[in-house]
Structure 1
């Protein structure tokens, strides 16, 4: 049937959903990448023969190196699991089991090696830094000292406030503990008073023969042992 079409109103045989690629463009990119890798391998070999360390050449877009303003916290990785891709390398080159640096394509077995690598010129070059620091002026030094002084004053103020708060909280806790002890002592005294009043009322109502709990324990024990009394015999 020649008039048969698709859901979009077009002939089913005339629709091609496959993405078109420019073969020449990707081939040119591949040639450029291979040429750059070949040039890098040559530069690495020349540096190795000269007894020097190879660094990535700068293209002018690098920035100056600045101090890290955050602490590297590796403790959050404790107990976590990382998936290692199939065919991962055993040495440092490539992604493997350990701490991986994507900028340098290197894997390190412990955090100390990783931290040393992040401070190395090689890593700094690969992340777009020159490895040089900006020379500080007198105004920068004064501003840094002022910031440090302000931070120190704030910390001391926080310590004073926190110490005062801790003392107040401790004072309230001690007051609550003393109040609780007074309450328990009053309850015990009131309970003893009620028990004593109940015993006196029982003796008044039923006479002296009524037995109060704990009153005749000593006499009962002596009777059970066969002692009837310690009176002297009459002569």
Structure 2
């Protein structure tokens, strides 16, 4: 048999060999199962840590307004743009760099999943308390009539001195 289909000498149309196609499909299925089994045996699934806030400030201003000569032999970390040492890539502008460091590929290279930890009710209450203390400002009592009287006395005294 020549292949998955064969041509009869007296007939110009192709005749499909169903047994050949079934054999090829079975071989492909067995190959996929073998590769899947090898992958499972080779490396156990990784447990990635949950997404967490950055502990450093992203430096976007250090190269702002500078000129730099770039040659063919310049290393990637010193070329124009923003260099990501985790992913070993150069991104040309700040917006794309921020998109990159917040993206799935970069986070996976850091060993994190894109899932976040769910906050409990107590954590939310504590966060609200912290924010209320942060923005709790003592406001002075403002008396409009007193301010008006003070301004009027200043105006009259300036007018009488001239």
TM-score (norm 1): 0.35
Higher relative contact order (CA 8 A, sep 6+): 2
Structure (1/2) with the larger strand percentage: 2
Q: Give the number of the structure whose residues are more often helix, by fraction.
A: 1
